Amino acid sequence: MSRLPPWIRTRVRVDGCYAQVHNLIRKGALHTVCESAQCPNRPECFGRGTATFMILGDRCVRNCRFCAVNTGDPLPLDPDEPERVAAAVAELRLKHAVITSVTRDDLDDGGAAAFAATIRAIRERAGQHVTIEVLTPDFQGNRHDIRTVAAAGPDVFNHNLETVRRLQPKIRPQADYTRSLAVLRCVAGFEPRPVVKSGIMAGLGETDDELYEAMRDLRSAGCEVLTVGQYLAPSREHWPVARFVHPETFEVYANKARAMGFKAVASGPLVRSSYRAGETLRQARQE
């Protein structure tokens, strides 16, 4: 299934703050998941003056079959990276900063200390008015590492479930469905509690009933904000697209999720974990 339906195609835009964001990322020797994961919303988000910073290098030690991020031997830790990210957030005058990372199972703490250092650096450099969202790996389920990140005080703690239970071993062979739910449950029990968020992809071969089961599992784990978007295969070597979900079906998903009690839901063909993340945080806080 290779031909994209018309609702998937996006208009490339390079207006607004696009050049500023692009140049600042290059100047700071920073990585973004927007570029590494080939996000289709990159032109829009850069044009709006936003980006999702990816720390801990650009090489992941896992090999998920849906992901475009490079895999291979990881880079050494960069002790100056938190300050450079904070400087970029301050220069862009962001109101909402999103920090994610590659998965670093090679590190004793999975990179938890680097997440915490980046959060603290942004608070110190950009001010307390900036809301901060982290999109983390599973830290192999280590509760201490999860709590290290939560204790640094992010406004949103996001960990993606990605797909339904049946497909997890095929799509994310080094991850685990139950472990991901345990990460979210751990965060939901932390005080002070950040907003708990997760995301699911549609079009990997799941049924709607399986998708709804995953939503219920997320709510039971304490998840409050949900994103649902269309899976797009980065290459022919990646997991193939099983179906293109119609925008009206994404609306059905959103209504189902809201009925389950999610405080904020972003559901649509081009929705990604960090797409308009500041807006979904505001929606969640208005509930």
Per-residue H/E/C for 125-170: HHCCCCEEEEECCCHHHCHHHHHHHHHCCCCEEECCCECCCCCHHH
pLDDT at 185: 98
CA dist., res. 123 & res. 132, Å (int): 9
Range of the domain at 52: 18-286
What does the pLDDT look like over 111-126, one tens digit per residue? 999 999 999 999 999 8
- Tokens 């207006």 — which residue? 15
- Tokens 């739910």 — which residue? 181
7 in any annotated domain: no
Q: How many domains does the chain have?
A: 1
pTM: 0.89
149 in any annotated domain: yes
- Tokens 């290098």 — which residue? 57
Q: How many residues does the chain have?
A: 287
CATH number at residue 107: 3.20.20.70
100 in any annotated domain: yes
Distances (CA, A) of 124 to 129, 138, 198: 11, 27, 27
CA dist., res. 113 & res. 118, Å (int): 9
pLDDT at 287: 62
**Crossing angle of the two packed helices 81-92 and 112-126, in degrees rounded to 10:** 40
**Looking at the predicted structure, is the pLDDT value of residue 78 above 50?**
yes
- Evaluate whether 51 touches 18 at the Cβ level (below 8 Å): no
pLDDT at 126: 87
What does the pLDDT look like over 262-279, one tens digit per residue? 999 999 998 988 878 888
Distances (CA, A) of 105 to 34, 98, 140, 177: 22, 21, 7, 17
143 in any annotated domain: yes
8 in any annotated domain: no
What does the pLDDT look like over 183-203, one tens digit per residue? 999 999 999 999 999 999 999
pLDDT, mean of residues 221-242: 94
13 in any annotated domain: no
Give the residue from 82, 101, 79 showing the smallest Cα distance to 90: 82
Burial zone of 79 (CB within 10 Å; 0-12 exposed, 13-18 middle, 19+ buried) = exposed
4 in any annotated domain: no
**Looking at the predicted structure, is the pLDDT value of residue 26 above 70?**
no
Band the pLDDT of 27: cuts 50, 70, 90.
low
268, HSE (Cβ side, Cα atoms, 13 Å)? 13
5 in any annotated domain: no
